[in-house]
Structure 1
């Protein structure tokens, strides 16, 4: 009896530990592993489907150029679509897409900026679309890849370029993370729509909201897995810490009804940001819905912000 009791006492914790490891591995693969398709949008966004596909159709009609980085390195090759402005312009916006999307999924924002007279660059992030990469870095590796895209814009369009960084959701966090890097003077402003504070906080929040699971032990184990696979812990992936080093004018946009990236993350990012800053909380907008509720109003706010910091072209 004593031997059986000892085996039971040891076996139960081991079984629980093994189950936790297995669940964490599945969670990591679900959240971080690339998928070679665009997941269907949430039910509350289905009403915008016709408008979305009209923007995609517009993009397909444009004289799109295909740009690449690391062309001779299959493991790190990155691709982007470039849409030149209707008339010659020194201004280019680099648009960072959301989680499990690609450059084409940002066609509506490309249309908006193209109408504002900008060249538009639409990268596929690492682990997305036609770019290489087995795993999604949630903006952390992407922030450095985008430095390469900035250099490509300067090489293609010249050093007189004026560059805007724009992103939504994961893309919003990506440009927030870029804000802490050493950016060339041609980068004039940053616009971040519904970006999260850090991947650690975002993962813990979604675990609790969607799966009713606690942060511990799952997030630390997922972080350890990521350290092994990608070379860094989740605690390293922080918009807040990067924003503390920002010097560029930055405009934060966030839906007041966002329950995917909650509005308290907007306030935390805004408070952390250095440099000139502005904030627009969009009434009644859910996650990444601010544009879709009123595209004209969205463009008006973006234009007003940019006119403050960029003289007329």
Structure 2
């Protein structure tokens, strides 16, 4: 999964002439200026301005005292002797005194300054939490995303005063709350700019007055200013992230993260009993950097920043990281090491994913994947973190996860059905019924987008709503890798995963090459296309991931293998173009059922510029029979044939009109066909027939070792040909088109 380690801001304070006895007055931020750590809260700035007053007084008054004393009798030293010479004697009345007797006066002044500075930093330190004397209203407990602590960051949905809902990441590593730059038109006056330090580099943010943010019906207490930046730079797969909730807000609350219940609770900081919360760890907070005096390898004296924006276990400084590599004989995978055993505060933990922090600054960091092994309570007003350990190892992805690629029972499964369930009428009804109406089988892909505020597009007839997720182009620092692992029977098993490239230097800016829609296979859903979304978004394409009718989160009780679906996709494209979310021409990549739908859609909609069809079937009736055989269904071929005819009658279609060859004959643009040599559903004969009917310029790519389930994820051999095909057949939008889309989005 993607990796992001939060952001921290680096500020340079502008010098301003202020009256020394007006410590609570906040100077206005001038347009174009780089603001300091500013807030309209009195407490925080009383410290800063008192310190500055002491500094200015010390630098101004002491030299005057020194000059006044020096005018009476300057101190001189002998060139040959370091002791004071007679010229260093100062006459006072009839007696002579050494001039160094003025030192007690200087020491008195210096001592007073030091005491005042200590008073500011110690006695008044709690005032850093502005308005802590007036506790903010506490929001009710809310749920967060299922993937939090399991590879995903922690997401909450906040609301603006206008009612617009925004997806925020909760990030204790971010000093200030940020919004995506797309929201700037509604933020009012621009106050200036600020430099932001990210783990992978720096950027320039814009400063605005903070809007009101609500969690549920409760307004959150935030700072007076908010920053905006392009949040697409954050390497998170497909997340339409619109905000980062930083410590300028979180510091006012006592927050409990319950990963078992998926709840975030806001507690009274004076009420919780420490024995109920777990082991206490004092927190140090300096300019909104939250740290604890522990680390992931148990080395004494090495503290760590606490960063919930980091979605893996954490980072180690170069010295500690290299030490662990040698001691545990570790192997790096894209810069990440897996520690079989590690230690935190004397307790043992297993299977930690850590990376080396290569910056100049000594830096250890604790991320969300490690914190999620505990019931976590951040009592920021009391500067204490409580950890109640609930797991030695990382949290499982989902209970009952099988890491397989099917999410619902297929139409061919008759177990649990009454005896009449194998007759042609019952089978015909199952053939055209929506897969998401059947019992679910959660897998490693389900709930990838559980964080996403649902967005549905109405289509029909028949009426349905399609769940759609948009993933903007950009460098997500994610590499998708696949390889074949030999197994006992000699066949081999495909293994693939997304690997975060945390230590890779930032690549050149990705150019916008247009929009691609990714269509999933039958009985799957949009989440299964996430690996392709990573690959193609990093190649410069805006990605649209819909759940097809009757699949995933989309509604619709009936599917038609093309008749309803092609109309749905045309309406979806109408909506996207009306919203100017894409150019007039789009490309489509589909797998299996989605590939066949893509071909029929392109044959009926000239706005589809090109198609990459991975494992498309030719004749739907033949595909039904092959699915039944592959899944060893107890269905006779005669009953299946009659049921297919009844299903066509119900849909008022002819299967021959929805064959792959029929679609190919109506296409005007070339397509790329990809198939597997061991695919029992889209056979090599199907691929040959489709190639012969395809328009001129079409190409075919065959992977001999791949079957139907894995051909769509055979990235080591098909990734580059797919990207090259889209580069050749999908012309990038012009600057005028991009400007038009940008203007419309604002």
TM range (shorter): 0.7 to 0.9
Q: Does 1:197 pair with 2:597?
A: no
On the 8 A contact 2:523/2:551 being kept in 1, the answer is: yes
1: CA distance between counterparts of 2:462 and 2:618?
32
> 2:287 corresponds to which residue?
none
**Among residues 196, 220, 241, which one is paired with 2:642 in the alignment?**
220
**Alpha carbons of 1:145 and 1:75: their partners in 2 closer, same or farther (altered >3 Å)?**
closer
Distance 2:421 2:704 in 1: 41
CA distance in 2, matches of 1:64, 1:88: 27
Q: Which runs of 5+ in 2 are unaligned?
A: 1-418, 475-509, 734-746
1: distance between equivalents of 2:582 and 2:521?
Answer: 29
Secondary structure in structure 1 of the residue aligned to 2:524: coil
| Cα distance in 1 for residues equivalent to 2:454 and 2:542 | 11
Alignment of 1:26-175 (within 5 A): 26-36=426-436, 40=441, 57=448, 66-70=455-459, 75-86=463-474, 89=512, 91-157=514-580, 160-175=583-598
Aligned-residue Cα RMSD (Å) equals 3.2
Offset of residue 175 of structure 1: 0.7
**C-alpha displacement of 1:245:** 0.7
TM-score, normalised to structure 2, is 0.34
Give the whole-Å Cα distance in 1 for the aligned partners of 2:520 and 2:724. 23
Count of paired positions = 278
Secondary structure at 1:179 match in 2: helix
SS of aligned partner of 2:467:
strand
Distance in 2 between residues matched to 1:274 and 1:194, nearest whole Å:
18
2:702 maps to 281
Deviation at 1:227, TM superposition (A): 1.9
Partner residue, 1:23? 423
Matches within 5 A, 1:235-250: 235-250=656-671
Deviation at 1:107, TM superposition (A): 1.1
2:519 touches 2:594 (CA, 8 Å); kept in 1?
yes
Stretches of structure 1 lacking an aligned partner (at least 5 in a row): 1-18, 42-48
Instruction: Give me the whole-angstrom Cα distance separating, in 2, the residues matched to 1:131 and 1:28.
Output: 22
Deviation at 1:196, TM superposition (A): 0.5
Choose from 300, 303, 306 the match for 2:720. 300
Find the aligned partners of 1:281 and 1:248 in 2 and give their Cα distance: 21
Give 1:268 shift.
1.3
Relative CO higher for 1 or 2, CA cutoff 8 Å, sep ≥ 6? 1
Aligned mates of 2:473, 2:602 — CA distance in 1: 25
Following superposition, the deviation at residue 162 of structure 1 comes to 3.7
Residue 215 to residue 169, structure 1, CA distance change in 2 (3 Å): same
- Say if 2:566 is the partner of 1:177: no
Once residues 158 and 261 of structure 1 are traced to their aligned partners in structure 2, the CA distance between those partners, rounded to angstroms, is 34
Conserved in 2, the CA contact under 8 Å of 1:38 and 1:101?
no
State the distance in 1 between where 2:453 and 2:716 align: 25
User: CA offsets per residue over residues 228-284 of structure 1, 9 Å max, x none?
Assistant: 2x3324343222111111111200011111113222111111111224201100121
Q: Which has the larger radius of gyration?
A: 2
More strand by share: 2
Q: What does residue 263 of structure 1 align with?
A: 684
Q: Are the equivalent residues in 2 in contact too, given 1:253–1:281 (CA < 8 A)?
A: yes
Q: How far apart, CA to CA, are the structure 1 residues paired with 2:425 and 2:626?
A: 18
Structure that is richer in helix per residue: 1
TM-score (structure 1 length as normaliser): 0.76
**SS of match in other structure, 1:157:** coil
The 1:235–1:213 alpha-carbon spacing in structure 2 relative to 1, beyond 3 Å, is farther
